[in-house]
Amino acid sequence: MHSPRSKLIFDDRCGLCQKSVLFLRGLDWFKTIDFIPLSQAAELVARHHITAQAMEAAIHHVSLSGQVTKGAHAFRVFGMKIPLLFPCALLLYLPFVLRLANRLYTTVASRRQTLSRLLRCDAGQCSIHRNS
């Protein structure tokens, strides 16, 4: 039996998101996080009242206690559980650093389709090719 894990919901139709999660999985040595693709997270998203618009804007982390954080805040929370990310996550507890990280995260997230193309993601899996 495995111990309970927090959940990180990510957009599995975004090449940048997929590559980021692949990187994070490699760093999660103690398997503290379940990485949940958005396409398989309907029940989890509904249970925590996460809107589709919010999911389009940022990754979401659901802690064991059910607390939901997103974007740079999520990185701050789950980063504390991953040894190599711990120093960066600790810095995010400084207010000015978190504000800067939020701006950076928002900028990257809003341009992720372009970044995904630069990373050569498959056309069928990128968010830019979604049917709205």
* pLDDT, tens digit, 9 for 90 and up, residues 89-132: 999 999 899 999 999 999 988 888 777 777 665 544 444 334 33
91 φ, ψ (degrees, to nearest 5): -60, -30
Note the pLDDT tens digit of each residue in 64-88.
999 999 999 999 999 999 999 999 9
In a domain, 85, yes or no: yes
Comparing 7 with 52, which gets the higher pLDDT?
7
Which of 72, 53, 75, 94 shows the shortest CA–CA distance to 6? 75
- Rounded to 5°, the CA angle 11-42-21 comes to 25
- pLDDT value at residue 1: 45
Number of domains in the chain: 1
- pLDDT value at residue 19: 87
In a domain, 129, yes or no: no
User: Domain limits at 110?
Assistant: 6-121
Radius of gyration from C-alpha coordinates of the chain: 15
* Position 61 pLDDT exceeds 60: yes
Where does residue 5 rank: exposed (0-12), middle (13-18), buried (19+ CB within 10 A)? middle
Token output for 97 = 């650093």
In a domain, 127, yes or no: no
Note the pLDDT tens digit of each residue in 14-59.
888 888 999 999 999 999 999 999 999 999 999 999 998 999 889 9
- pLDDT value at residue 115: 74
Query: Strands 6-10 and 33-37: what pairing?
Result: parallel
